[in-house]
């Protein structure tokens, strides 16, 4: 493709980005804004591809557009739909007419100041430093990093500290989610079409997550993309009305949640004991250590994202079984006695607590 064609494509991308962002912010319907935001994320992913950053594009498409979109849609669903008139009335409070305008002005000025500072910093960086010093430093040390994908080398080796702290931020966030109390109730069992889609989509997503984790060593991919894909599998299962969505229970869940930071810190400390700097891997071991950290991080990130979608602590399975059993009149094995009773029980259970024990739904 010629340079002019690409320029046209880039221009179209920029125009759609700004247009979508504006439409998402200016709209008054929250659901519409969320859907526009998801479209914005997809176009942004395409823009990252054009900037030759496929790793970021993958993360943006999976987390920024897909999972954040699902999260926001679920949040919109939770909120009672406010009529437009009521919302605009509460916005322009008659008692303090100047407040909202002043607030808008303040936000605009702050945003403009932030954008200006960032632009200045970017211009400064381009003008002062030799531009390819960092890429050259990375590529000359790539041999010793244990991986051949420069992005993974930076994230998990040269700047492993940053990634460790990022995982710590995620762990803190998930602790905050746990503090919100029990998760929202699940959804009704999906119809045959969505259930059929989920049946083959979930295995493909899990497989893709494993592939992204493995391929991160030498091509775009890695823990964040793999974790987001794994979380997407759980989200699909939850949307399909399952309540066993692959999330471990109780203590196992806590171990998985802390596993990312835990593995990172333990490996770092282990290296300290052997006389190397914290997270300064010996080149011979670097590949294996990075894979270990990334595997644990994938699970931790996936658990974090799923818990964010759940919006609280997952309810223990035992509660659900009791919930189903109270209306299902189970046989001695805990399963309903007859198929007819099962169907009725299924419907009643769905009415009573909106969740059906997996054993009954299977029948």
Partner 1 sequence: MIDVLSGLLVLAGVGFYLAGSIGLLRLPDLYSRLHALTKADNLGLGLLTAGLALHSQELLTVLKLLLIWLAVLSASAASAHLIARYARRQETKS
Interface residues toward partner 1, by CB under 8 A = 191, 193-194, 196-197, 200-201, 204
The smaller minimum CB distance to partner 1, of residues 110 and 197, is found at 197
Provide, rounded to whole angstroms, the least separation between the CB of residue 207 and partner 1.
11
Nearest residue (CB) to partner 1, 201 versus 266: 201
Burial (CB count <10 Å: 0-12, 13-18, 19+), residue 111? exposed
Residue 84 CA to residue 28 CA, distance in Å, equals 7
Neighbouring C-beta atoms of residue 230, cutoff 10 Å: 26
| Phi-psi domain of 97 (left: phi exceeds 0; alpha: psi -120 through 50; beta: other) | alpha
Query: Smallest gap, in angstroms, from Cβ of residue 185 to partner 1?
Result: 19
Nearer to partner 1 (CB atom), residue 194 or residue 285: 194
- Cα(336)–Cα(346) distance, integer angstroms: 10
Q: Which residue has the tokens 């998801």?
A: 38
Q: To the nearest 10°, the Cα dihedral for 218, 223, 228, 230?
A: 90
Report the alpha-carbon distance of residue 61 to residue 63 in Å, rounded.
Answer: 6
Residue with Cβ nearer partner 1 (195 or 358): 195
Q: How many residues does the chain have?
A: 363
CB-side neighbour CA atoms (13 Å) of 132: 3
The closest of 242, 240, 192 to 355, measured between CA atoms, is: 242
* Residue whose CB is less far from partner 1, 196 or 334: 196
Handedness of CA 220, 221, 222, 225 (dihedral sign): positive
Residue 197 C-beta: closest distance to partner 1, Å: 4
- CA nearest to 143, candidates 132, 157, 155: 157
Q: Which is nearer to partner 1, 214 or 278 (CB)?
A: 214
Cβ proximity to partner 1: between 23 and 337 the closer is 23
CB of 193 to partner 1, least distance (A): 5
Question: Least Å distance between CB 198 and partner 1?
Answer: 9
Written as six digits, the tokens of 109 are 């000025």
CB of 199 vs partner 1, minimal distance in Å: 11
CB 77, min distance to partner 1, A: 12
**Minimal distance, residue 309 CB to partner 1, in Å:** 18
> Residues 202, 208, 211, CA angle at the centre, nearest 5°?
150
- The whole-angstrom separation of Cα 123 and Cα 341 is 71
């Amino acid at each position: 493709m010629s340079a002019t064609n690409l320029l046209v494509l880039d221009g179209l991308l920029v125009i759609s980005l700004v247009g979508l962002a504006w439409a998402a912010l200016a709209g008054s319907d929250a659901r519409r804004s969320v859907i526009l935001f998801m479209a914005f994320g997809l176009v942004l992913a395409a823009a990252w591809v054009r900037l030759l950053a496929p790793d970021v594009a993958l993360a943006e498409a999976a987390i920024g557009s897909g999972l954040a979109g699902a999260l926001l849609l679920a949040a919109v669903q939770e909120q009672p739909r406010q009529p437009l008139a009521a919302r605009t009335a509460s916005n322009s409070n008659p008692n303090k007419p100047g407040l909202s305008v002043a607030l808008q002005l303040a936000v605009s000025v702050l945003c403009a100041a932030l954008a200006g500072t960032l632009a200045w910093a970017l211009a400064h960086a381009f003008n002062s430093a030799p531009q390819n010093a960092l890429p050259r430093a990375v590529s000359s040390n790539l041999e010793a990093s244990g991986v051949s994908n420069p992005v993974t080398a930076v994230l998990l080796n040269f700047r492993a500290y940053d990634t460790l702290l990022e995982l710590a931020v995620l762990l803190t966030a998930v602790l905050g989610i746990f503090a919100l109390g029990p998760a929202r109730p699940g959804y009704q069992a999906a119809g045959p079409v969505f259930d059929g889609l989920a049946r083959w989509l979930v295995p493909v997503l899990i497989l893709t997550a494993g592939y992204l984790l493995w391929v991160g060593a030498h091509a775009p991919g890695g823990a964040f993309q793999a974790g987001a894909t794994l979380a997407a599998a759980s989200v699909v299962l939850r949307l399909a009305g399952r309540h066993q969505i692959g999330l471990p229970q109780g203590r196992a869940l806590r171990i998985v949640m802390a596993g990312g930071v835990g593995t990172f810190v333990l490996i770092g400390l282990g290296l300290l004991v052997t006389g190397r700097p914290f997270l300064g891997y010996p080149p011979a071991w670097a590949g294996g250590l990075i894979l270990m950290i990334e595997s644990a991080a994938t699970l931790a990130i996936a658990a974090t994202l799923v818990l964010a979608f759940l919006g609280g602590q997952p309810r223990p399975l035992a509660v659900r079984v009791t919930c189903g059993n109270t209306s299902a009149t189970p046989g001695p094995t805990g399963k309903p006695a007859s198929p007819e009773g099962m169907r009725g029980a299924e419907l009643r259970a769905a009415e009573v607590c909106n969740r059906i024990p997996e054993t009954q739904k299977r029948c």
